[in-house]
Chains A and B, each alone.
Chain A
Amino acid sequence: MNTVRLYIRSMGILLKSQLQYPLSFLLQTLAQLIMEGGEMLAVVLLMDRFDHLHQWTPGDLYFFFGLMSVTFYLAECFGRGITGNFPSMVRTGQLDTLLIRPRGILTQVLCSAVDPRRIACILVGTVSLILGSRMSQVEWTAAHVLLLTESIFCGFWLILGLFLIEAILCIHSVKSVEIANAITYGGRSACQYPVDAFPRSLRTLFTVIAPFALVMHVPASRILGKPIFGWPAWTAWISPLTGPAVFAVMMLLFAKAMRFYRSTGS
Chain B
Amino acid sequence: MSYIHVEHLSKSFQIRKKREQGKLLREKQTIRALEDVSFEIEQGELIGYIGPNGAGKSTTVKILSGILTPDGGEALVGGRIPWRNRKEYVQHIGVVFGQRMQLWWDVPILESYSLLRDIYRVPETAYQKRLGELTEALNLGELLRTPLRQLSLGQRMRAELCGSLLHQPEILFLDEPTIGLDAVSKLALRDFLRWENREHRTTILLTTHDMEDIAALCARVMVLGHGRKLYDGSLQELLHRYDRTRTVDIRYDADGILPTLPDSVAVQREGDGLRLTYQPEKLATAELLALLQQAGPIREMTVQPQNIDHLIADMYREMGL
- Which of A97-105, A122-130, A209-217, A226-234 lines the interface with chain B? A97-105
Do residues A100 and B90 form an inter-chain contact, with CB atoms below 8 A? yes
Q: With a CB–CB cut-off of 8 A, which chain B residues contact A97?
A: 97, 100-102
- Closest CB-CB distance, A233 to chain B, in whole Å? 44
Do residues A99 and B86 form an inter-chain contact, with CB atoms below 8 A? yes
Instruction: Choose among B86, B90, B114 the residue with the greatest number of A CB atoms under 10 Å from its CB.
Output: B86
Do residues B115 and A262 form an inter-chain contact, with CB atoms below 8 A? no
Secondary structure at the B interface, as helix, strand, loop or mixed, is: mixed
Q: With a CB–CB cut-off of 8 A, which chain A residues contact B105?
A: 17
- Which of A3-11, A152-160, A177-185, A238-246 lines the interface with chain B? A3-11
**Cα(A93)–Cα(B67), bound, Å:** 11
Do residues A102 and B90 form an inter-chain contact, with CB atoms below 8 A? yes
Q: Which of A7-21 contact B (CB under 8 A)?
A: 9-10, 13-14, 16-18, 20
Q: With a CB–CB cut-off of 8 A, which chain A residues contact B119?
A: 6, 101-103
Q: Which of B72-123 contact A (CB under 8 A)?
A: 83, 86-88, 90-91, 93, 95, 97, 100-102, 104-107, 111-112, 114-115, 118-121
Q: Which of B37-63 contact A (CB under 8 A)?
A: 59, 62
**Cα(A259)–Cα(B83), bound, Å:** 10
Instruction: Please judge, given known A-B contacts A264-B14, A265-B59, whether A99 and B104 are in contact too, CB under 8 Å.
Output: no
Q: With a CB–CB cut-off of 8 A, which chain B residues contact A2?
A: 118, 121
Q: With a CB–CB cut-off of 8 A, which chain A residues contact B95?
A: 100
Instruction: Please judge, given known A-B contacts A103-B87, A264-B13, whether A13 and B115 are in contact too, CB under 8 Å.
Output: yes
**Cα(A51)–Cα(B120), bound, Å:** 59
Q: With a CB–CB cut-off of 8 A, which chain B residues contact A18?
A: 106
Q: With a CB–CB cut-off of 8 A, which chain B residues contact A14?
A: 104
**Cα(A10)–Cα(B68), bound, Å:** 27
Instruction: Report if B207 contacts A (CB, 8 A).
Output: no
Q: With a CB–CB cut-off of 8 A, which chain A residues contact B66?
A: 99-100
- Closest CB-CB distance, A262 to chain B, in whole Å? 5
Question: CB-defined interface of B223-245 with A at 8 Å, one 1/0 digit per residue?
Answer: 00000000000000000000000
Q: With a CB–CB cut-off of 8 A, which chain A residues contact B65?
A: 99-100
Q: With a CB–CB cut-off of 8 A, which chain A residues contact B62?
A: 96, 265
Do residues B104 and A100 form an inter-chain contact, with CB atoms below 8 A? no
**Cα(A2)–Cα(B122), bound, Å:** 12
- Closest CB-CB distance, A112 to chain B, in whole Å? 9
Instruction: Report if B279 contacts A (CB, 8 A).
Output: no
Smallest CB gap from B121: residue in A: A2
**Cα(A265)–Cα(B120), bound, Å:** 24
**Cα(A94)–Cα(B66), bound, Å:** 15
**Cα(A102)–Cα(B88), bound, Å:** 6
Q: With a CB–CB cut-off of 8 A, which chain A residues contact B121?
A: 2, 102
Instruction: Report if A263 contacts B (CB, 8 A).
Output: yes
Partner of B147, one of A5, A10, A20, A262: A20
Q: With a CB–CB cut-off of 8 A, which chain B residues contact A101?
A: 90, 119-120
Do residues A9 and B67 form an inter-chain contact, with CB atoms below 8 A? no
Instruction: Report if B69 contacts A (CB, 8 A).
Output: yes
Do residues B104 and A17 form an inter-chain contact, with CB atoms below 8 A? yes
Instruction: Please judge, given known A-B contacts A20-B106, A97-B100, A102-B90, whether A265 and B13 are in contact too, CB under 8 Å.
Output: yes
Q: In the A-B complex, list the 8 residue pairs whose CB atoms are closest, starting with the nearest.
A: A17-B106, A97-B102, A102-B91, A263-B69, A102-B87, A100-B95, A99-B67, A20-B106
A-B CB contact pairs (8 Å), 17 listed: A13-B107, A13-B111, A13-B115, A16-B106, A16-B107, A17-B106, A17-B107, A20-B147, A96-B97, A99-B90, A100-B90, A101-B119, A102-B119, A102-B121, A262-B67, A262-B83, A265-B59
